[in-house]
């Protein structure tokens, strides 16, 4: 029997059960979702509807396969010896905090049994549903701040910016290490003034920010949008050039932030 952990207060529309959850898919050799080689759990469910989402098939919670704690541990256990030295485990999605109680339970068992580095890839919107203690098994947060302007943020995501900024401030209070992630989308997030404002804000978070990842927009998700019969409005949006991406990174570097 697994030790039960306290369930979080339930925000609207999330999965509250701590003993089972919904797993969309896994990746056993991820190299871009945290330090080193990562075993990545892509959890189902997300309250955002980002225009450039490359995993729209993860939006619906019940599109995932129902799993319990043992199922999750069986997925990662064969790789634990390698991951102990080469990287760790990342919880992504979708939005893993849609299933915060279950994820917290799984993280606790992974940490106790395997001692692996754990990263959480999130936009932080649902952070009020968990207590500070929930982050004790999280070694690194990959925080995706999609825009610094509230109106543009809402236009991109159909959600509100402030909860994510509140989450960033909470991480600062907790001294929780983080990588900040910013997707550079021509015509949406590449305005120089907006990037400067974002860099100014991230600099206020101090040394909890280990790096800033400026991620160039890509079109690899189109086939998923088409398969789901969803309108994809960025079909003609180009991938930013190397020079454009480096120019955005330079803005963060000018504030003393390490970028990748």
CATH code of the domain covering residue 69: 3.20.20.70
Position 13 scores a pLDDT of 65
Instruction: Give the CA count within 13 Å in the CB-facing half-sphere of 118.
Output: 24
Q: How far apart are CA 144 and CA 121, in angstroms?
A: 8
Identify whether 10 is part of a domain: no
Identify whether 219 is part of a domain: yes
The torsion angles phi and psi of 179, rounded to 5 degrees, stand at -110, 130
Contact 86, 37 (CB under 8 A): yes
The tokens describing 253, both together, are 């570097």
Question: In 145-191, where does DSSP find H-type helix?
Answer: 150-157, 162-174
Enclosing domain of residue 60: 20-253
Position 12 scores a pLDDT of 57
Q: How far apart are CA 152 and CA 191, in angstroms?
A: 11
The tokens describing 83, both together, are 């991951």
pTM of the model: 0.93
Identify whether 224 is part of a domain: yes
Q: Number of folded domains in the chain?
A: 1
C-alpha distances in angstroms, 70 versus 29, 65, 94?
21, 14, 21
Position 87 scores a pLDDT of 97
pLDDT in tens, 206-254: 999 999 999 999 998 899 999 999 999 999 999 999 999 999 999 999 9
Contact 238, 186 (CB under 8 A): yes
Identify whether 109 is part of a domain: yes
Residue count of the chain, please give it: 260
Q: How far apart are CA 6 and CA 15, in angstroms?
A: 14
Identify whether 238 is part of a domain: yes
Position 1 scores a pLDDT of 36
**Stretches in the chain below the pLDDT threshold 70:** 1-13
Position 71 scores a pLDDT of 98
Position 15 scores a pLDDT of 84
Identify whether 144 is part of a domain: yes
Identify whether 3 is part of a domain: no
Position 63 scores a pLDDT of 87
**Cβ partners under 8 Å of residue 207, min gap 6:** none
Cβ neighbours around 203 below 10 Å, total = 15
Identify whether 8 is part of a domain: no
Contact 119, 138 (CB under 8 A): yes
Position 170 scores a pLDDT of 98
Question: Tokens 């932080």 sit at which residue?
Answer: 124
């Amino acid at each position: 029997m697994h030790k039960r952990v306290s369930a979080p207060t339930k925000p609207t529309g999330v999965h509250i059960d701590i003993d089972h959850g919904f797993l969309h898919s896994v990746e056993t050799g991820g190299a871009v979702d945290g330090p080193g080689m990562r075993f990545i759990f892509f959890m189902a469910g997300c309250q955002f509807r980002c225009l450039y989402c490359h995993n729209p098939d993860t939006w619906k919670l019940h599109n995932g396969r129902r799993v319990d704690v043992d199922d999750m541990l069986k997925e990662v256990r064969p790789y634990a010896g390698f991951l102990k030295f080469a990287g760790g485990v990342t919880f992504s999605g979708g939005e893993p905090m849609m299933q915060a109680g279950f994820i917290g339970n799984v993280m606790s068992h992974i940490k106790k049994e395997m001692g692996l580095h754990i990263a959480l890839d999130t936009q932080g919107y649902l952070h009020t549903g968990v207590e500070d203690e929930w982050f004790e098994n999280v070694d690194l947060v990959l925080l995706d701040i999609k825009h610094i302007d509230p109106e543009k943020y809402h236009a991109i995501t159909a959600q509100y910016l402030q909860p994510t900024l509140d989450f960033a401030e909470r991480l600062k209070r907790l001294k929780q290490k983080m990588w900040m992630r910013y997707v550079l989308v021509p015509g949406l997030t590449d305005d120089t003034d907006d990037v400067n404002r974002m860099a100014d804000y991230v600099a206020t978070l101090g040394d909890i920010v280990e790096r800033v990842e400026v991620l160039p927009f890509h079109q690899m998700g189109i086939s998923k949008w088409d398969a789901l019969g969803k309108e994809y409005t960025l079909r003609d949006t180009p991938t930013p050039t190397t020079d454009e991406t480096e120019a955005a990174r330079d803005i963060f570097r000018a504030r003393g932030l390490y970028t990748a």
